Every structure is written in structure tokens, then in C-alpha cells.
Amino acid sequence: MKEYQTINEISGPLVFAEVDEPIGYDEIVEIETPRGETRRGQILETSDDLVAIQVFEGTEGIGLDASVRFLGETMKMPVTEDLLGRVLDGSGNPIDGGPDIVPDDRVDIVGEAINPYAREYPEEFIQTGVSAIDGMNTLVRGQKLPLFSASGLPHNELALQIARQATVPEEEEDGGEGSEFAVVFAAMGITAEEANEFMDDFERTGALERAVVFMNLADDPAVERTVTPRLALTTAEYLAFEKDYHVLVILTDMTNYCEALREIGAAREEVPGRRGYPGYMYTDLAELYERAGRIDGSDGSVTQIPILTMPGDDDTHPIPDLTGYITEGQIYIDRDLESQGVEPPIYVLPSLSRLMDDGIGEGLTREDHGDVADQLYAAYAEGEDLRDLVNIVGREALSERDNKYLDFADQFEEEFVEQGFNTDRDIDETLELGWDLLSILPKDELIRIDEELIEEHYREEGAAHISAD
């Protein structure tokens, strides 16, 4: 253990210290003030004679007379199956009043990239209980599928709903129950009020029993936000690849994480990239997102749902833009649907799950899933286009066929997308509801569905009973 008293500059969350030998990148540091207070940090930049240290607990109270100790190891996460049901802060310390964690292992939080040759292709369905996701933008084990939201929209409520309801259906083809399911929930830069809402919901519904929760609050140091998702993903990888869990990782809010990167970049006086964010932000996000996946020979999996709030509702902003390049699709939370009272306000037209076709059809979901989703999407898109036309010519000028599509679009939002944040629909309920809606349209309009499926599922009486229900 090497100790120095050579701090020569403090800038924002960074401490700069002189050294007489190279120090390892990402090495953990302890900084002790003359008053005996100790804080942890991590090497962010290193050279032969100078290091930059990012301090997790913030630099307030640290002076040039503080001592710096280099511990000779990188930051590690103590992992054990007993973490399930625990609540930790953004640095991985228990804050739930429970016993100390006795780890089975201590794992480097940077992790190891999954060898592409060892990756198993994601193609198994995860049921979230949300029709707009399960029916139209299916989540698959090992996938990374972000939620694109904006300030003031109920993305936290949807995240909690998914955390409560998400399950892995039984592997019927193997005749077994498959692996257990767990949730790792990492919150970054949230308010104390939001944290209380999260914890109240987890405890009230019993979801905490199968979850590991990491909480970084808005008044916690921004630097800690760069560590929180890595701690969460390290925990998820242990549960998935050592204990054979199917793990769903929910990361909220990635915008706060990226703001922390920008703050650190400004303190380092880096040349900024787009809108002031670091030029390496794409690489940094990819390091996190690409830790989702399945490994050949392992029963477990890591699936990610990152949540980000788009500044100014702008999906061309660098954060959603770069996220979209890395991940396999996106789910849009829509402000107009939210203003109409639709819960959850998922806008399916710009939403996309690129792995959906591999996770539906024969096997765990039904053979009509793909056709129903395609037809629902096409019919809703046509109804949306006709709404624009109605604003110009009025509904009376439209044909009977066009009016049916308008009725379909209204019913789709009111009955299929709208389900509330406390309703859990299995995939059979979702698809049956889809058939109820498609039966509003004449049979000859269902051009994306196999005729045998139409004969089996089409309701001749239409969807009149939906409103009655």
C-alpha cells in the first residue's frame, strides 16, 4: 500500500496528486483528511508523475494536506445469492438496516466482455405482463431494450410494473420449470421522493424478495453514478452465470448517468463532443449495454431495460441517439397518450424490438403472435394517418372502411395499450384482446394473417363485447 501527501489540485469531483511511479488505471484510492475522515476514489487518469482521482463521496472538505493511499486493486463488488431482497446505496453498501453482507466472492466491477463466439443467440420470451410490450415489442432473454421517455412522464411507474410482473414462462419443451427469475434495479440520480415510492412499491408487492436494489440519490455525488450501473451489472452477471438465474436489469435514469460523465469530462478539461458530452460516451454506454446476453452452456441470462429521459423530448439528442445504435430497439413513452390518461402511455408505432421475431411463434408463445402483431401495427398506423385527414375534411367525408379504422385506432389505445399500472396480462390474454380488436375490421382487411388463423380466431360478432367488459 503506497501513501502520498502530494495533492496539488482539486477540481469539482476530481483530485490530482503527484506520484513517483505509474499507478494502475481504475485502481482504488483512499483519501484521508487531517480530521481522520476517509473517502474512496478511483484512478481516472494516470501518467508517470500525476494521477487524476474521481472521489465517490465528493471532494468537499478535502484539502491539499490530505493523504492519498493507493490500494493496488480495482473496485470489486462482494457478491452472494443472499443479496436478493437487499437494498444498497450507489456504492454497494447496505442501507436497509439488514446484516452485513458475507460475500461468496468479490468480483471486478468492470467485468469481462462476453466472447462473441460464446454468446447464445437471444430467442426466448420474457413476459412483462404489459400488452404493448409483450404483444407488439416482445422482450427476449439476453436482449437490451431501452425505454425512451421524457421529463414528467410515468416511466418509473412502468419500470416498477415490469419489475413486479416480469416472469420467464415454463420451458414446456423441456418439461421443466427452467431457471429462477430475479430483478436487479439500479436507480441513478433520483430524488428522495422517488426512492421512497420505489421502496414502498417493492415492499408492498413483495417484489423485493427476488430483487437487488441499488439507490443513488440526486444529492449523492455525481461521480457515484458512474459506478452504480457497473455494480448492478456485476451482481446480475454473478446471479445469471454462477447461480443460473434469469436476471432482468432495470437502469434508471441513464440521462443522469450521462450527465455525470459530462461533469467529470468538464472537470478534466476534455475537449467536448456533441452538446458538451464526452466524445467517448458511445464507447462508455456500449461497455454497459453489451453486458447483456446469454452464454453458451449457461442456463442463466442477463436482460437489460435501460430507461432514459430525452432532454426536450428530442430523440436525436446524443443520449437516445447513441443508445439506439447500441441496443436492439426501443420502447417510446408518449406525452400525448399520457395526457389522454392512457396507462402505460406506450406509443407502439415508433417502438421496436429487433429480436421480437426470434422470441415468438412456436414454443412458449402462440403461433398467431407474429401475424397478430403485424396486423395490429398496420391497422393502427392507418388509423393514425386517417386522424390527420379527419382534421381537414371531417369524419363524415370518410368511407365506411376508413371509419372502421378510426374506430380501431381509438379502441386499440383504450383497450389494448391502456391497462393501468397494476394489471398483469399474460400473453394469451394479450393476443385474445388483439383478436377482439381485429374483429372490428372486415375479414378481407386482415391481409397480414394466415387464413387458417383467421378462421380459428376471428369473432364474427365484432368487438362489441370489449366495451361491455
For 120-136, the pLDDT digits (tens) are 988 888 999 999 999 99
pLDDT score of 468: 47
Residues of CATH 1.10.1140.10 domain(s) within the chain? 369-468
For 190-200, the pLDDT digits (tens) are 998 889 989 99
pLDDT score of 324: 93
Cell of 221: 455525488
pLDDT score of 72: 85
For 404-459, the pLDDT digits (tens) are 999 999 999 999 999 999 999 999 999 999 999 999 999 999 999 999 999 999 98
Mean per-residue pLDDT over the chain, rounded: 89
Return all residues near 469 (Cβ < 8 A) that are at least 6 apart.
none
Would you say 70 and 1 are in contact if contact means Cβ atoms under 8 Å apart?
yes
pLDDT score of 44: 87
CATH 3.60.20.30 is right for the domain spanning 2-74: no
Residues of CATH 2.40.10.170 domain(s) within the chain? 2-74
Residues of CATH 3.40.50.12240 domain(s) within the chain? 77-359
CATH topology of domain 77-359: Rossmann fold (3.40.50)
pLDDT score of 461: 67
Q: Which long-range contacts (CB under 8 A, 24 or more apart) does 260-266 make?
A: 260/188, 260/189, 260/222, 260/223, 260/225, 260/226, 261/226, 263/12, 263/13, 263/222, 264/12, 264/13, 264/14, 264/44, 264/54, 264/222, 264/223, 264/226, 266/12
Region 48-53: mean pLDDT is 90
Please provide the CATH number assigned to the domain covering 369-468: 1.10.1140.10
pLDDT score of 179: 66
Which pTM does this prediction carry? 0.89
